Amino acid sequence: MVDAIGLGPIDRKVLGVQVPSSALGIMNSNTTALQRETNGTLKLTVTIPNADVKKTWEEVIVGVVENAELQGFRKGKAPRKLVEEKADKEKIREEVLRKLLPIAYTQAIKDLGLRPIINPKIHVEKLEDPETGKDWQFIALTCEAPQINLGKYKENIQKITAKTKIAIPGKEAVPAKFEEIVKALLDSVTGQIPGILVENETDRLLSQTLEDVKKLGLTLDQYLSSTGKNPEVLREEYRKKAENDIKLEFTLLKIAEEEKIAVEEKEIQEAINASKSDDERKNLEANRYLLASILRQQKTLDFLKNL
């Protein structure tokens, strides 16, 4: 979501396509309608001008013609009209959209001054051929980071940790349980978690459960029967867990920002050096950003335990 060390914004990568700065502004003026839904989700309705559709469609067609291999013609030498007649229009349409959509979306969020933290969910209506003169339109669902109000979290956590600091002769102090600290923290803070974030995480948790169930050689029905749950109950359980997990993540991020808790480069390297295998080391090296996030969260939790 953000650079764990410097907390910078995510890059301009949309739907797996890197959008360079030079690509922004080369299109005609898109129109975008923004709707802020009550659950915190942002709904963008983006219209791509027909002029841009025509221009990109032509570029794609030229590429198809140059690479066409039709019987009786050398590669790229078949008449354009013949190539167009045999070309799969749906594939051309998909390629045009693949080129236009990331640029249009990136331009839209730039124009609106938005800072989305996830890749959007895209819904595309029927796309007309460019010769109809009709614009293309798509809907993008995304969200920005939730605003967290920390409330009196320090006071409430100190009520938990204070009990562990009372010295009783002949007895060792028992540290506060992690679960108790987290509960006191989450009970203290307020903030709306965007619905799209919760749904994405719920889907991820359910997918992980399905994978685990398959590894056990069970079907979903067998698993549900053994737990006495139905799909609706299971999803609701995961939805609540997802909401709490995300709320905790952004709460820890907010505390880290306010308390200026940072991760030094040497701490990241020390964690990598402590790897137990070459594969683990390579994985950590390839995911330094994620490692830094985890280390920062751990330092923030340590800060809470010591309140």
**In the chain, beta strands by DSSP E:** 13-14, 17-18, 31-36, 42-48, 121-124, 136-142
Total structural domains within the chain: 2
160 shares a domain with 120: no
Mean pLDDT of 17-44: 71
Q: Which of 110, 142, 174 is the last residue of a domain?
A: 142
- Whether residues 136 and 157 share a domain: the answer is no
Q: What is the mean pLDDT of residues 249-266?
A: 94
pLDDT (tens digit per residue) in 187-236: 999 999 999 999 999 999 999 999 999 998 988 889 899 989 999 999 99
Mean pLDDT of the chain: 85
Check pLDDT > 90 for residue 22. no
Residue 255 reports pLDDT greater than 80:
yes
The model's pTM: 0.77
Residue for token digits 């950590």?
Answer: 284
Domain interval for residue 224: 153-305
C-alpha count within 13 angstroms, C-beta hemisphere, residue 6: 3
Residues 246 and 161 reside in one and the same domain: yes
- Indicate if 76 and 137 belong to the same structural domain: yes
pLDDT of 61 above 70: yes
Q: Check residue 193 and give its pLDDT.
A: 94
Q: Comparing C-alpha atoms, which of 157, 159, 186, 163 is closest to residue 175?
A: 163
Distance CA 95, CA 100 (A): 9
* Weakest mean pLDDT among 16-20, 215-219, 251-255, 288-292: 16-20
Q: Are residues 40 and 121 in the same domain?
A: yes
List pLDDT tens digits, range 78-131.
777 777 777 788 898 999 999 999 999 999 999 999 999 999 999 997 788 888
Tell me, yes or no, whether 138 and 158 share the same domain. no
Whether residue 7 has pLDDT greater than 50:
no
